């Protein structure tokens, strides 16, 4: 940790702070006279006071005598280098010409520089100026490196999010094409089976087989429909909705699905903005998210559904690659279950990815929720940590038309 030059309450703006450590008053006086016009100065007579003043004031540079009455200058230097807050402060040793051992030790300890007593005041000012300039350059380079490291980390994070979005888009196109063809084939199978079941001359054993085929084909059609939803190719009939009313309409059904061992709560926001979406899709999303939340709770726990108005700005969109700035209605489902690891969270919206056991689901639920949200111009954010539950936040664009206006504009079926 370093403190910018001159940016200190006891140092006038633009004047770096120096600490002079020497037990000889005449040496201190000479150095003060040479430096006082350009720098703010502190002085110490021993190593103990020097370390205390360094910690209290974080000087920009220290002039340190090697021979001191209590702790010698070399030990003061070692202790300063061992302290993270003092380690970057440059130190110029001041020694006598006969103390070659001290000079060698100072250089081995990587001191910034050293001066020989009696100190040449011209050399003193020059060495101090050079070391302060070197420190300023190091500070600038360090700041630039921190900015670059931060930008590189942000770039890597956003690039990873972009790759994930592109992968989901590619899988969605593939899934949509396959599901469309498969759905046509299933329609033929289901139609033929239903025609067979209408016949009265079908033996009982064959009728049971036809019913089993019909059940399997219908289940396959449901999975295909989920694939189409993920691929955003599901046929929808959007309407302007009050999400609070839609959630309330589904409340009893959701409570039955979740069961008694899990506490279920709804916190609707007042004056919630309207959204435009197929109400069937909203019910499917709520059902999927609440069932997933229930399954994540091993014994007892809570599932909470909340709504809120949200405005997303350009700065927030930098961390939300699927978002665009604007007004949204947020629909959130939070559980107190086992949560997910970062690795699982990064794949949570991929089709056929699951944290459940074999045979516990088609693994298309969250993928279809993602597809439905994207089909309606919104985005979804999942957050979780192992042992800390999970939250799924759905953001749907605010509709400029109210739910009441939408109902008035709907065509009325003619009376017979």
Q: Where are the domains of the chain?
A: 17-119, 157-230, 239-406
What tens digit of pLDDT does each residue of 364-383 get? 567 778 888 888 889 988 88
Of 200 and 402, the structure prediction assigns the larger pLDDT to 200
Q: For the sheet containing 390-397, what is the strand order?
A: 262-267, 301-312, 326-335, 390-397, 379-384
Q: Do domains 17-119 and 157-230 have the same CATH topology?
A: no
Report the alpha-carbon distance of residue 23 to residue 332 in Å, rounded: 69
Nearest to 44 by CA among 58, 30, 60, 63: 63
What tens digit of pLDDT does each residue of 10-66 get? 445 568 999 999 998 998 999 999 999 889 999 999 999 999 999 999 999 999 988
What tens digit of pLDDT does each residue of 252-272 get? 888 887 888 888 889 999 999
Report the alpha-carbon distance of residue 318 to residue 164 in Å, rounded: 15
Predicted pLDDT of residue 263: 87
Nearest to 45 by CA among 76, 85, 7: 76
Residue 232 has pLDDT above 60, yes or no: no
The third-level CATH classification (topology) of the domain covering 239-406 is Heat Shock Protein 90 (3.30.565)
Average pLDDT (221-250) is: 71
Report the alpha-carbon distance of residue 221 to residue 213 in Å, rounded: 12
Are residues 286 and 254 in contact, defined by beta-carbon separation less than 8 angstroms?
yes
Predicted pLDDT of residue 179: 61
Report the alpha-carbon distance of residue 172 to residue 178 in Å, rounded: 10
Predicted pLDDT of residue 211: 84
Region of 341 (left: φ > 0; alpha: ψ -120 to 50; beta: rest) is beta
Of 165 and 116, the structure prediction assigns the larger pLDDT to 116
Residue 5 has pLDDT above 50, yes or no: no
pLDDT-derived band at 273, boundaries 50, 70, 90: very high
pLDDT-derived band at 274, boundaries 50, 70, 90: very high
> Average pLDDT of the chain?
79
Nearest to 276 by CA among 307, 243, 309, 249: 243
The third-level CATH classification (topology) of the domain covering 157-230 is Helix Hairpins (1.10.287)
Of 231 and 388, the structure prediction assigns the larger pLDDT to 388
Per DSSP bridges, beta strands 326-335 and 301-312 are antiparallel
Of 403 and 396, the structure prediction assigns the larger pLDDT to 396
Report the alpha-carbon distance of residue 347 to residue 365 in Å, rounded: 13
State the helix-helix crossing angle for 279-295 and 251-258, rounded to 10 degrees.
20
Tell if the pTM clears 0.85, that is, is over it.
no
Predicted pLDDT of residue 142: 80
Determine phi and psi for 333, rounding to 5 degrees: -125, 120
For 17-119, CATH number?
A: 3.40.50.2300
């Amino acid at each position: 940790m370093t403190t910018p030059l001159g940016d200190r309450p006891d140092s006038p703006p633009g004047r770096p702070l120096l600490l002079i450590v020497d037990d000889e008053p005449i040496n201190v006086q000479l150095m003060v006279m040479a430096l006082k016009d350009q720098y703010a100065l502190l002085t110490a007579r021993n190593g103990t006071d020097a370390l205390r003043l360094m910690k209290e004031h974080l000087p920009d540079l220290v002039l340190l005598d090697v021979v001191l009455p209590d702790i010698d200058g070399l030990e003061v230097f070692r202790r300063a280098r061992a302290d993270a807050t003092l380690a970057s402060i440059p130190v110029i040793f001041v020694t006598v010409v006969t103390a070659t051992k001290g000079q060698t030790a100072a250089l081995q300890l990587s001191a910034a520089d050293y001066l020989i007593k009696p100190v040449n005041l011209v050399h003193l000012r020059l060495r101090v100026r050079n070391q302060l300039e070197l420190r300023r350059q190091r500070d600038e380079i360090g700041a630039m490196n921190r900015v670059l490291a931060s930008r590189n980390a942000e770039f890597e994070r956003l690039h990873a999010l972009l790759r994930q979005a592109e992968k989901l888009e590619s899988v969605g196109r593939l899934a949509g094409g396959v599901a469309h063809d498969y759905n046509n084939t299933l329609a033929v199978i289901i139609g033929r089976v239903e025609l067979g079941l209408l016949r009265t001359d079908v033996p009982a054993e064959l009728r049971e087989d036809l019913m089993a085929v019909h059940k399997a084909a219908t289940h396959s059609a449901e999975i295909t429909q989920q694939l189409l939803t993920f691929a955003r190719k599901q046929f929808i009939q959007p309407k302007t909705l009050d999400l609070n009313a839609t959630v309330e309409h589904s409340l009893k059904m959701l409570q039955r699905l979740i069961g008694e061992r899990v506490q279920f709560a709804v916190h609707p926001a007042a004056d919630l903005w309207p959204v435009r979406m197929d109400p069937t899709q909203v019910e499917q999303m709520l059902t999927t998210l609440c069932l997933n939340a229930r399954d994540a709770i091993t014994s007892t726990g809570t599932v909470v559904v909340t709504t809120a108005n949200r405005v997303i700005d350009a700065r927030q969109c930098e961390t939300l690659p699927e978002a665009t700035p604007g007004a949204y209605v947020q629909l959130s489902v939070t559980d107190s279950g086992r949560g997910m690891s970062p690795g699982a969270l990064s794949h949570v919206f991929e089709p056929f990815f699951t944290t459940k056991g074999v045979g516990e689901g088609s693994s298309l639920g969250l993928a279809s929720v993602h597809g439905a949200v994207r089909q309606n111009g919104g985005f979804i954010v999942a957050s979780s940590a192992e042992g800390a539950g999970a939250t799924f936040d759905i953001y749907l664009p605010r509709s400029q038309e109210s739910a009441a206006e939408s109902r008035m504009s709907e065509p009325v079926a003619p009376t017979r």
